[in-house]
Amino acid sequence: MRDAAINLRALPEQRDLIDQAAMLLGKNRSDFMLEVACERAQAVLLDQVHFALDASRFQRFTELLDAEPASNAGLVRLMQVKAPWVEPEA
């Protein structure tokens, strides 16, 4: 059961356009708008985590991922710090 309300204002032309598209798909305005909004939201989120590369760029990308990391003295020091919840060895 849906219990969260989403309210918005639209121009009459926008409402009519949405209604026409919803009708063509056999949906009511709310169902249509919710479906379309969720599809767009998913696309926006995926754009933040998904990217595409051609074959040569993908090859270079995987080479960089597989390469030995550069020396990083700060990271070495950080990894040597004991977490405060780890008890000292006796």
Over residues 68-82, the pLDDT tens digits come to 989 999 999 999 998
38: which 2 tokens?
A: 């969720």
More confident residue, 6 or 50: 6
Residue 90 has pLDDT above 90, yes or no: no
- At 37, the pLDDT band (50, 70, 90 cuts) reads very high
Start-to-end C-alpha separation, the chain: 57
Mean pLDDT (the chain) is: 92
Percentage of the chain surpassing pLDDT 90? 77
Residue 62 has pLDDT above 80, yes or no: yes
Residue 88 has pLDDT above 80, yes or no: no
Percentage of the chain surpassing pLDDT 70? 99
pTM of the model as a whole: 0.55
- Of 21, 51, 14, nearest to 36 (Cα)? 21
Write the DSSP assignment of the chain as a string of letters. Answer: -----------HHHHHHHHHHHHHTT--HHHHHHHHHHHHHHHHHHHHH-----HHHHHHHHHHHHSPPPP-HHHHHHHHSPPTTSPPP-
